[in-house]
């Protein structure tokens, strides 16, 4: 039972299809991560091991971490950049095998840094699905100059292609910082017109918006609702984000429909 449970607004528990929260683990100590899960794992659906951090950690530590997260019903998966590095090194099969061997069941497939044409990306998604993985794909470029070349219409098309190829969800790229990329301007504010296009054209239950900054999280929750899917959440913001979803913080108090 929660403290002050008569003030706890309801929200669907795990496993859920909407209102998903994906957290970014960029190298937390295992005991520290477990300690955080003990108090707030109910509010986390996915943990991403950011970009190429995994090849810097010991296999046994990674396996222990995956297992620990899974014991809290949190699904851990490797960042898309690591997949891109495997692609670049022509080690796709080794990548799948090692991921499976470590205990991963979900993978991210992206082309944010390495040049992979849409058709080939889709084939890779299909291949990964055939290997038995659940696939989250990502749309967007990490380099702001290249990312700006993608129109909202392009993004819609790319998302649709990934979903058609078998991705269960698609991440909208915003990096760890959340500014000057995708639908965010240099200050991390949402570019309304571009966002509205994506909002109208895309199935929101299949999109995860990377929204590392609090103002972004508030924006999405007020605009789409508490069950918007949000990603790249810093670990120390897990509970804070959930209070925003549930109207337990000034920014959304009385403004969300649960």
Residue numbers 209-238 binding its own copies by CB under 8 A = 214, 236-238
> Quick one: 61 or 119, whose CB is closer to its own copies?
61
Residues 181-210 that bind its own copies (CB under 8 A): none
46 near its own copies (CB under 8 A): no
Among residues 105, 97, 98, 51, the alpha carbon closest in space to that of 74 is found at 105
End-to-end CA, the chain: 19
149 near its own copies (CB under 8 A): no
Residue 193 burial (C-beta neighbours within 10 Å; 0-12, 13-18, 19+): exposed
> Quick one: 56 or 193, whose CB is closer to its own copies?
56
Candidate list 50, 152, 188, 226; residue touching its own copies; CB under 8 A: 50
Per the CB < 8 A criterion, the answer to whether 144 and 178 are in contact is no
Residues 113-142 that bind its own copies (CB under 8 A): 113-114, 142
> Quick one: 54 or 202, whose CB is closer to its own copies?
54
SS3 annotation, 209-244: EECCCHHHHHHHHHHCCCCCCEEEECHHHHHHHHHH
Candidate list 12, 16, 17, 26; residue touching its own copies; CB under 8 A: 26
Residues 152-181 that bind its own copies (CB under 8 A): 175, 177
Among residues 187, 207, 144, the alpha carbon closest in space to that of 18 is found at 207
């Amino acid at each position: 039972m929660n403290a002050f449970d008569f003030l706890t607004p309801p929200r669907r528990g795990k496993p859920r299809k909407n209102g998903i929260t994906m957290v970014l683990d960029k190298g937390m100590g295992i005991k520290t991560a477990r300690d955080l899960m003990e108090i707030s794992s109910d509010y986390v659906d996915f943990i991403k091991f950011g970009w190429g951090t995994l090849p810097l950690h010991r296999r046994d530590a990674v396996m222990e971490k995956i297992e620990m997260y899974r014991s809290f019903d949190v699904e851990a998966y490797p960042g898309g950049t690591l997949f891109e590095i495997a692609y670049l090194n022509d080690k796709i099969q080794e990548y799948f095998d090692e991921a499976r061997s470590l205990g991963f069941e979900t993978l991210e497939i992206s082309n944010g840094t390495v040049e992979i044409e849409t058709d080939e990306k889709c084939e890779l998604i299909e291949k990964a699905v055939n290997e038995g993985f659940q696939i989250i794909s990502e749309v967007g470029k990490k380099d702001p100059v290249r990312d700006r070349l993608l129109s909202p219409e392009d993004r819609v098309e790319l998302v649709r292609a990934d979903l058609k190829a078998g991705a269960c969800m698609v991440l909208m790229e915003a990096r760890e910082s959340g500014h000057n990329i995708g639908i965010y301007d240099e200050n991390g504010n949402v570019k309304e017109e571009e966002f509205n296009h994506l909002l109208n054209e895309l199935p929101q239950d299949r999109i995860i918006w990377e929204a590392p900054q609090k103002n972004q999280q508030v924006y999405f929750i007020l605009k789409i609702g508490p069950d918007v899917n949000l990603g790249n959440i810093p670990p120390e913001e897990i509970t804070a984000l959930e209070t925003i979803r549930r109207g337990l913080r000034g920014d959304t108090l009385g403004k969300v429909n649960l």
